[in-house]
Homo-oligomer: A and B are copies of this chain.
């Protein structure tokens, strides 16, 4: 699912309606391909639809999450807000602890889901966040 139209088709399949607001939100999510906060999404969408309300953005993000097209991210840093990621492929994240930049990390061998069980839990999924310094911040800290 990689185009606005395809996502809108999914909306219809699920018995939901396609509105300008929803198209705009999906468009921002797909275009930015970033890890935006709800507020950033709201700001971007308001370029097209100045009067869209926060409630609508939240509603749509939750629907997209339910449909499995978007993943809510809490990067586990405490400092980070909740972000929304168009989860096309399963991937991990790496966050710069200095500037907050976030990038996707493809899954690697040796880091796959373990098949055995911890504490007798049936493991369904896992979330991995790497913390580090991005190239820019790394060179800045060396320079100091």
Name A residues whose Cβ lies closer than 8 Å to a Cβ of B: 65, 72-78, 80, 82, 94, 96-97, 103, 105, 108, 110-111, 114, 117-135, 138
Give the copy number. Answer: 2
Partner of A110, one of B65, B96, B110, B132: B110
Q: Do residues A105 and B126 form an inter-chain contact, with CB atoms below 8 A?
A: no
Please indicate the chain B residues that have their CB under 8 angstroms from the CB of A118 in the complex: 94, 103, 105, 130, 132
Given A74-B78, A76-B73; A121-B108 close (CB under 8 Å) = no
Q: Do residues A133 and B111 form an inter-chain contact, with CB atoms below 8 A?
A: no
How far, in whole Å, are A94 and B126 apart by their CA atoms in the complex? 9
Q: List 9 A-B contacts (CB under 8 A).
A: A105-B119, A110-B111, A111-B111, A120-B134, A120-B138, A121-B138, A126-B131, A127-B129, A128-B128
